[in-house]
Amino acid sequence: YPDPRQREEFIKMEASMRIGGNVSLSPEEQQLDAHLSKLMLEEMAREDFLPALHFFKARPLIRSSPIYGLLQKMPKGAALHVHDFAMVDVEWLVRNVTYRPHCYICYTDDRSVRFYFSSGLPKPLSNCSTWTLLEQLRAKTVNVTDLDDSLMSYMTLWTLEDPELAYPSLTVVWKRFEQAFKATWGLVTYAPVFKDYFHEGLLQFYRDNILYVEVRALLPETYELDGSTHDTEWTMKTYQDTARQFVEENPDFFGARVIFTVNREIYPALLTKEVQKAMKLQVDFPETMAGFDLVGQEDTGRPLWEYKEALSLPAAQGSNLSYFFHAGETDLQGTKSDQNMLDALLFNTSRIGHGFALLRHPVAKMLSKMNAVPLEVCPISNQVLKLVKDLRNHPAAALMSEGHPLVISSDDPSMFGASGLSDDFYEAFVGFGGLSNHLGTLKELAMNSIRYSSLPPNLQEKAMALWQRKWNKFVTENL
Ligand SMILES: O=c1[nH]cnc2c1ncn2[C@@H]1O[C@H](CO)[C@@H](O)[C@H]1O
C-alpha cells in the first residue's frame, strides 16, 4: 500500500523541479496566481484546446482569451531570438514603406515579388517581370486594398487558407519562408527604410512589454536611391544609433544588441572571412555586437562541424567573440546536422537557438543543463515550420517540467502573424504544462530572458531591476 506522505513528497518534488517551481510569491502575487489558475482551468475546459490547433486557426481565439490579455500586459523581459527582417508586421511594410516614392515592383516566375527603390528604372532582374513603379500600378488598379493585401501575402507565411493545404510539407514551407524574406529584402535594405524598420521593430516589441531585444542580423549592404551602397559597418552603426535613440525616447526600454548571422549554405572556406568580420565588429562595436550565429534551414544546410576551422579562429586568436548557434531545429535523426547541438556546445555556444531535438541527445542535454546553456524555444515557429503539430507534444513541455534552462522567443513574428512575444508566451504557458504552470513559471521565464542575455553582469543587474519594477506594477494593477 503506497505511503500517502511519500506520495505527497514526490508530487512536491516534481513541482519544485519545474521552471519556476522554487520561485517564492508575495501575498499579492499569490492572489494573482489564484486568478491565473482559474483562467487556466477555463482555458483547458474549452472544446478546442488552443495549443493543439495550428496557430493560424487559433490566433483569433488566443487573442480573445483572458490569459492572453494578461500575458500581453506582463513584462516579459527580453526577446533573445528574433530575426532582423521578421520583426515588424507586414501591414506596416505595405502601408508605410511601399507607399514611399520611387518604389518599384516586379513579379517573379515562381509567384513572388521583388521591390527596389530607385530614382530611375532599376536594372532588370532575371526571372522577374519588368519593373513597375508601384505608384503607377496603384493608379491603374481598381481595388487597391486587394492589391495591398496581395503584397502583404508575399511577405509572410500567415494565411487564412488551411495551413495544411497551403504548406503541405517541410520543403514547401521552408521554400515559401525564404521567398517571403526575399520579397521583403528590397524594402528593408533601402537605407532610409532600414533605420525606420528597426525603430518600428523595437517599438512593436516595446509595446508588447519587452524591455530588451537581441537581433539575429545578416548585416547586409544597404542602398540609396542612386544605387550607391553602405557597408556592414554602416549597418551595424545604424543598429547601434537606432537602439540608442529608441532608449532616449523610451527610457524604460533597455536597448538592443546584435548577433551577426550567416546562412549555412556558405562554403566552409568562405566562412573564415565572415568570422574575421565578426571578430572585428566585436572590437569596433563592443556595446552592440553580441556574437555570431549560422542560420537557414538546418537539414539542407551544412552541419556546424564542416565549419570547424573557421569557428576555431576566435579562440585561437584570443578574441572574445561569443556564439549563439541555431542547432537542433530538425526532425531528422542521425543525420550530420543532427549533431549540431553537440558541436554548438563544444564550441562553447552561449545559448542554443531552438534545440528542438534535444530530448534525443542525452549527452548534449546533460552538457546544456550542466553548463547552463539555455535553449531559445520558439513554439509558433516550430509549429508553422512543421516540426510539431500539437504544441503539447513540443519537447520543451518535458524540458520545462525538469527545469531545463530555457527562454521563450518568437523567432520571426511577422512571418507567422504573431506579435512580440505574447503569442509564443501563450503557447508556452498554456501548451507546455497547463495547470502545472503558474505565476512563478512566468516570472522565471521572464527572469531567464535577462539572466541568459548577452548583457554584461552590471547591465544585467540594471535590466533586472528595471524588469522587477515593471513586474511589481503589473502585479498590483492586475489583482
Ligand atoms: O527559425 C529559423 N531557423 C533558421 N534560420 C532562420 C529562422 N528564421 C529565420 N531564419 C533565417 O534568417 C534569415 C533572415 O535573417 C532568413 O533568410 C532565414 O534564413
Q: What is the pLDDT of residues 285-331, one digit of tens each?
A: 999 999 999 999 999 999 999 999 999 999 999 999 999 999 999 99
Q: What is the pLDDT of residues 232-266, one digit of tens each?
A: 999 999 999 999 999 999 999 999 999 999 999 99
35 is catalytic: no
Give me the catalytic one of 81, 83, 326, 354. 354
Are 203 and 109 contained in the same domain?
no
What pLDDT does 271 receive? 98
**Cell representation of residue 418:** 504573431
For ligand 1, the distance from its centroid to the CA atom of residue 241, given in whole angstroms, is 24
For ligand 1, the distance from its centroid to the CA atom of residue 291, given in whole angstroms, is 16
User: Among the three residues 169, 199, 231, which one is the final residue of a domain in this structure?
Assistant: 169
Are 254 and 151 contained in the same domain?
no
For ligand 1, the distance from its centroid to the CA atom of residue 185, given in whole angstroms, is 13
Are 82 and 149 contained in the same domain?
no
Domain that includes residue 145, residue range: 91-169
What span, in angstroms and rounded, lies between the C-alpha atoms of 77 and 472? 13
Nearest CA to ligand 1 atom 1: 411
Give me the catalytic one of 29, 43, 200, 329. 329
Are 383 and 296 contained in the same domain?
yes
What span, in angstroms and rounded, lies between the C-alpha atoms of 333 and 331? 6
394 is catalytic: no
For ligand 1, the distance from its centroid to the CA atom of residue 125, given in whole angstroms, is 24
Nearest CA to ligand 1 atom 5: 296
- Residue 419 lies inside a defined structural domain of this protein: yes
Q: What is the pLDDT of residues 260-279, one digit of tens each?
A: 999 999 999 999 999 999 99
- Residue 143 lies inside a defined structural domain of this protein: yes
Q: In terms of Cα–Cα distance, which of 392, 359, 393, 391 is closest to 375?
A: 359
- Ramachandran region, residue 122 (left: φ > 0; alpha: ψ -120 to 50; beta: rest): beta
Q: Which atom of ligand 1 is nearest to the CA of 354?
A: 1
pLDDT, mean over the chain: 98
Q: Which atom of ligand 1 is nearest to the CA of 295?
A: 5
Per-residue confidence at 363, pLDDT binned at 50, 70, 90? very high
Q: What is the pLDDT of residues 368-423, one digit of tens each?
A: 999 999 999 999 999 999 999 999 999 999 999 999 999 999 999 999 999 999 99
Query: Which of 412, 414, 416 for mutating ligand 1's site (highest number of atoms within 8 Å of CB)?
Result: 412
Q: What is the pLDDT of residues 15-28, one digit of tens each?
A: 999 999 999 999 99
Nearest CA to ligand 1 atom 19: 296
- Residue 24 lies inside a defined structural domain of this protein: no
What pLDDT does 230 receive? 98
What span, in angstroms and rounded, lies between the C-alpha atoms of 113 and 261? 24
Question: How many domains does the chain fold into?
Answer: 2
Are 212 and 258 contained in the same domain?
yes
- Residue 341 lies inside a defined structural domain of this protein: yes
Within 13 Å, how many C-alpha atoms sit on residue 429's CB side?
A: 31
Are 209 and 124 contained in the same domain?
no
What span, in angstroms and rounded, lies between the C-alpha atoms of 46 and 431? 13
Per-residue confidence at 332, pLDDT binned at 50, 70, 90? very high
Pocket of ligand 1 from Cβ distances under 6 Å? 83-85, 178, 181, 216, 218, 263, 295-296, 326, 329, 381, 411-412
What span, in angstroms and rounded, lies between the C-alpha atoms of 33 and 69? 15
Are 143 and 241 contained in the same domain?
no
- Residue 434 lies inside a defined structural domain of this protein: yes
- Residue 184 lies inside a defined structural domain of this protein: yes
- Residue 61 lies inside a defined structural domain of this protein: no
Are 142 and 196 contained in the same domain?
no
- Residue 238 lies inside a defined structural domain of this protein: yes
Per-residue confidence at 199, pLDDT binned at 50, 70, 90? very high
For ligand 1, the distance from its centroid to the CA atom of residue 383, given in whole angstroms, is 15
Place of cell 542602398: 223
Are 154 and 214 contained in the same domain?
no
What pLDDT does 198 receive? 99
Q: What is the pLDDT of residues 67-91, one digit of tens each?
A: 999 999 999 999 999 999 999 999 9
Are 202 and 115 contained in the same domain?
no
What pLDDT does 446 receive? 98
The answer to whether the pTM exceeds 0.95 is: yes
Q: What is the pLDDT of residues 107-120, one digit of tens each?
A: 999 999 999 999 99
Are 312 and 226 contained in the same domain?
yes
Nearest CA to ligand 1 atom 4: 296
Q: What is the dihedral of CA 108, 112, 118, 123, to 10 degrees?
A: -20
Q: What is the dihedral of CA 217, 222, 297, 381, to 10 degrees?
A: 60
- For residue 383, what is the domain's CATH number? 3.20.20.140
What span, in angstroms and rounded, lies between the C-alpha atoms of 422 and 443? 14
Are 299 and 319 contained in the same domain?
yes
Q: What is the pLDDT of residues 416-447, one digit of tens each?
A: 999 999 999 999 999 999 999 999 999 999 99
